[in-house]
């Protein structure tokens, strides 16, 4: 295998990972918008767009996405609406981390759900911070090479 083949496999895997992350960001943004609209948080569309965009920042992004709506809820109504925003945040993070991301990675990169859940934990222990940051794209590349070696790499989506 020459370097062009390596670039094709790696580039294709990373492209599919970015597409999966984009879908994830769109879904999370929609969840933020729906939840914040139901709770009546001021500027819900702005916070939803920011929440979706911040999905591309591993670990810190979802936490940063919480600051704006929580502050807006606190200023507009006080404690109860802020509590609802915190509950919404918890639901979105759990649904995203345990359902959306593993399913999207399985669909786009043929990464098993168990690997999507386990790899960030293991790499986070082995290489703190950076391990969690690179776990998902690394898994996409590893499973692309696995598919290529198995002979069914041509059937993967670009």
Q: Give the pLDDT confidence of 99-143 residue by residue, as tens digits.
A: 998 999 889 888 898 998 899 899 999 998 889 889 989 999 999
Position 152 scores a pLDDT of: 59
- Residue 155 pLDDT > 60: no
Q: How many domains does the chain have?
A: 1
Give exposure, 33-68, as e/b (b: 16+ Cβ within 10 Å): bebbeebebeebeebbbbbbebbeebeebbeebbeb
- When the pLDDT of each residue in the chain is averaged and rounded to a whole number, the result is 91
Domain that holds residue 123: 3-155
Position 132 scores a pLDDT of: 86
Report the half-sphere exposure of 153 (CA within 13 A, side-chain side): 19
Give the residue-averaged pLDDT of 27-43: 97
Contacts of 67 (CB under 8 A, 6+ apart): none
Contact predicate 133/127, CB 8 Å:
no
Q: Which one-letter DSSP state was computed for residue 96?
A: I
């Amino acid at each position: 295998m020459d370097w062009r083949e390596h670039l094709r496999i790696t580039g294709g895997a990373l492209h599919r990972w970015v597409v999966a992350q984009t879908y994830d960001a769109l879904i999370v943004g929609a969840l933020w918008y729906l939840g914040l609209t139901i709770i009546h948080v001021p500027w819900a569309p702005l916070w939803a767009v920011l929440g979706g965009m911040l999905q591309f920042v591993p670990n810190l992004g979802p936490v940063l996405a919480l600051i704006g709506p929580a502050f807006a809820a606190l200023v507009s109504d006080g404690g109860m609406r802020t509590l609802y925003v915190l509950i919404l945040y918890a639901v979105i993070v759990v649904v995203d981390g345990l359902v959306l991301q593993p399913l999207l990675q399985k669909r786009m990169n043929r990464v098993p759900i168990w690997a999507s859940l386990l790899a960030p934990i293991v790499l986070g222990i082995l290489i703190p911070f950076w391990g969690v940051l690179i776990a998902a794209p690394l898994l996409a590349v590893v499973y692309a090479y696995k598919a290529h070696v198995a002979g069914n790499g041509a059937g993967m989506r670009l």
